[in-house]
């Protein structure tokens, strides 16, 4: 990253093919694959950017949250680079990095905004007030929304990851009925909880009971209910807190139906900001990008910092 804005290389080693046969991420396989590719990936990133180690001003890596084995490999590698080159190490909260992704595409970074993070491991809503200042408003009480897409897809044998397959299949639904009930109807309170385990179970039970039902219509109704809760929560937060800018990031943010539901439901003075699909899913540019702001404000990490599975 250059100046926290310009991506000069963004190399991704996708592990999707390694985990496909298990229909989900296997932690041991993930960390071993990280270890196998990390040195080559670092070399490739430098080569594509046409720079060498000596050109680096700081090095950043995700410190939390995530799978401990995978986090360790990246953070230890970053520590080794920082120590050897005597440059600052910036340890980053992965969720904060996701919310920075839309600011890698020519948009000026600003505060405050409402941040919705929707991925395979997290569904969380934040009031983002500054660098490192994320006030949690609510999160899922059970499954993450992406996890529900993956599990429904697994049950229907549609493939992995489930999100993109379900999105495509839902577009083919002829009958657009609400088969499944609305999740967590509004109580009138500031309720920012999310929940996806009940919807997932309702879908699975429905399929067991109606084995010949049209799959496209089932996943259509599942997707509508899953996304409707996200839209409702994010708009409630924005309106209660009187914040007009809303950032939505993470793998599920690449869902086109979510993008149109958000656009349809917002008022003219509300602004929905979503990164392009490549930057919605996990990438290193967003980590280096948010880290730049820590770097220029002198907030570097100690080399003794440890990884953490949770935020």
Residues forming contacts to ligand KG4 in the complex (CB under 6 A) are 119-121, 146-147, 149-150, 161-164, 167, 250-252, 254-255, 281-282
Residue among 96 and 282 whose Cβ is closer to ligand KG4: 282
Residue among 167 and 217 whose Cβ is closer to ligand KG4: 167
What is the b/e burial string over 227-261, where b = at least 16 CB atoms within 10 angstroms of the residue's CB? Answer: bbbbbbbbbbbbeeeebebbbbbbbbbbbebbbeb
Residue among 150 and 270 whose Cβ is closer to ligand KG4: 150
**CA–CA dist 290, 285 (Å, integer):** 9
CB 45 within 8 A of CB 9: yes
Burial class, 281, CB count within 10 angstroms (exposed 0-12 / middle 13-18 / buried 19+): buried
- 89-93 and 59-64 beta bridge pairing: parallel
Residue among 172 and 267 whose Cβ is closer to ligand KG4: 172
Q: Least separation, in Å, of the C-beta of 251 and ligand KG4?
A: 2
Q: Least separation, in Å, of the C-beta of 149 and ligand KG4?
A: 4
Q: Least separation, in Å, of the C-beta of 127 and ligand KG4?
A: 21
Residue among 4 and 146 whose Cβ is closer to ligand KG4: 146
**Which position has the token pair 């996943």?**
219
Q: Least separation, in Å, of the C-beta of 303 and ligand KG4?
A: 26
DSSP H helical ranges for the chain: 16-19, 27-49, 68-85, 94-100, 145-155, 162-170, 197-209, 215-241, 256-265, 277-280, 284-296
Q: Least separation, in Å, of the C-beta of 30 and ligand KG4?
A: 11
């Amino acid at each position: 990253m250059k100046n926290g804005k310009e991506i000069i290389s963004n190399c991704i080693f996708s592990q999707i093919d390694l985990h496909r046969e298990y229909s989900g991420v296997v932690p041991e396989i993930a960390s071993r694959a990280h270890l196998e590719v990390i040195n080559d990936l670092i070399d490739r990133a430098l080569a594509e950017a046409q720079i060498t180690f000596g050109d680096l001003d700081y090095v950043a890596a995700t410190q939390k949250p995530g799978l401990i084995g995978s986090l360790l490999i990246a953070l230890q590698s970053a520590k080794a680079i920082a120590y050897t080159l005597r440059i600052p190490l910036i340890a980053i909260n992965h969720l904060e990095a996701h919310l920075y992704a839309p600011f890698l595409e020519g948009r000026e970074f600003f505060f405050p905004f409402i941040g919705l993070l929707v991925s395979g491991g997290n569904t969380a809503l934040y009031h983002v007030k500054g660098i490192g200042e994320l006030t949690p408003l609510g999160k899922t009480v059970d499954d993450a929304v992406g996890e529900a897409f993956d599990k429904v897809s697994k049950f229907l044998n549609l493939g992995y990851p489930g999100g993109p397959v379900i999105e495509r299949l839902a577009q083919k639904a002829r009958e657009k009925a609400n088969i499944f009930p609305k999740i967590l109807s509004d109580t009138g309170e500031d309720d920012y909880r999310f929940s996806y385990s009940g919807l997932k179970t309702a879908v699975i039970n429905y399929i067991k009971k109606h084995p010949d039902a049209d799959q496209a219509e089932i996943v259509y109704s599942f997707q509508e209910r899953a996304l409707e809760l996200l839209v409702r929560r994010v708009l409630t937060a924005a309106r209660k807190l009187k914040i007009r800018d809303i950032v939505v990031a993470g793998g599920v943010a690449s869902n086109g139906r979510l993008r149109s539901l958000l656009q349809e439901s917002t008022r003219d003075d509300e602004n929905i900001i979503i990164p392009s699909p490549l930057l919605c899913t996990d990438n290193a540019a967003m980590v280096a990008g948010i880290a730049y702001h820590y770097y220029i404000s002198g907030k570097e990490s100690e080399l003794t910092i440890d990884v953490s599975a949770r935020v």
